[in-house]
Amino acid sequence: MSLRLGDTAPNFKAQTTLGEIDLYEYLGDGWGVLFSHPADFTPVCTTELGRTAQLQDEFAKRNAKVLAVSVDPLDSHKSWINDINETQHCDVQYPIIADPEKKVAELYDMIHPNASATHTVRSVFIIGPDKKIKLTLTYPASTGRNFLEILRVLDSLQLTADYQVATPADWKEGEDVIVTGAVKTEDIPARFPKGHKIVKPYLRTTPQPNR
């Protein structure tokens, strides 16, 4: 059964490169980014894990913890990290889950048989502090993910969780946002004192409220 937005993220315990973790305990009251990889010692995955390591401080600024998962065993992961650090000029400090029995992969429906019967696709799950699934992404094995986009989505999710706004196409931190339909036009000045623009009755914008 595939997970959908708003579903509770299944909890699990697993062995990782940083020891055994319980997902909920690891995330605490913060955000989580769980992403899967088809296999160790593969070129695209190596660049992805390296890029994530380079952005560790950016995830930390957003109170988000990352953790990767591959169906290869722990010894393989630990050896692979040396290659990642060497080739991507980084220092992987986040956990990589060893999932040789595919328990996590099955919980999160990461194996798509028509793509591969044994390896996980490139799945991404953003998990909120309430342990609900806030975003899912699925990439084929041949396409590396854009981790700046994952950070952008985190910014949007955190903003829209606190204010009655939505973010438009290609929005980036600091740009104007959309006032949701739940806010009446006459109530906008009180809620968003920085000003607003009415493009259409259903399309009202305002400066980002938390900047």
| pLDDT tens-digit map of 49-89 | 999 999 999 999 999 999 999 988 999 999 999 999 999 99
CATH number, domain at 126?
A: 3.40.30.10
Same domain, 50 and 78: yes
Same domain, 17 and 72: yes
Cα 104–Cα 108–Cα 112 angle in degrees, nearest 5: 105
Same domain, 123 and 172: no
Concerning whether 90 is annotated as a catalytic residue, the answer is no
CATH number, domain at 170?
A: 3.30.1020.10
Which residue of the set 14, 23, 34, 45 is catalytic? 45
The verdict on residue 75 lying in a domain is: yes
Domain encompassing residue 201: 163-206
> Which has the minimum average pLDDT: 23-27, 34-38, 108-112, 149-153?
108-112
* pLDDT score for 204: 98
| Of 11, 64, 68, 59, residue with least CA distance to 36 | 68
Same domain, 102 and 184: no
The verdict on residue 122 lying in a domain is: yes
The verdict on residue 108 lying in a domain is: yes
Above 90 in pLDDT, residue 120? no
pLDDT in tens, 166-210: 999 999 999 999 999 999 999 999 999 999 999 999 999 999 999
Same domain, 131 and 200: no
Helix ranges (DSSP H) in 62-133: 74-88, 103-107
| Of 38, 28, 206, 193, residue with least CA distance to 122 | 38
Same domain, 67 and 27: yes
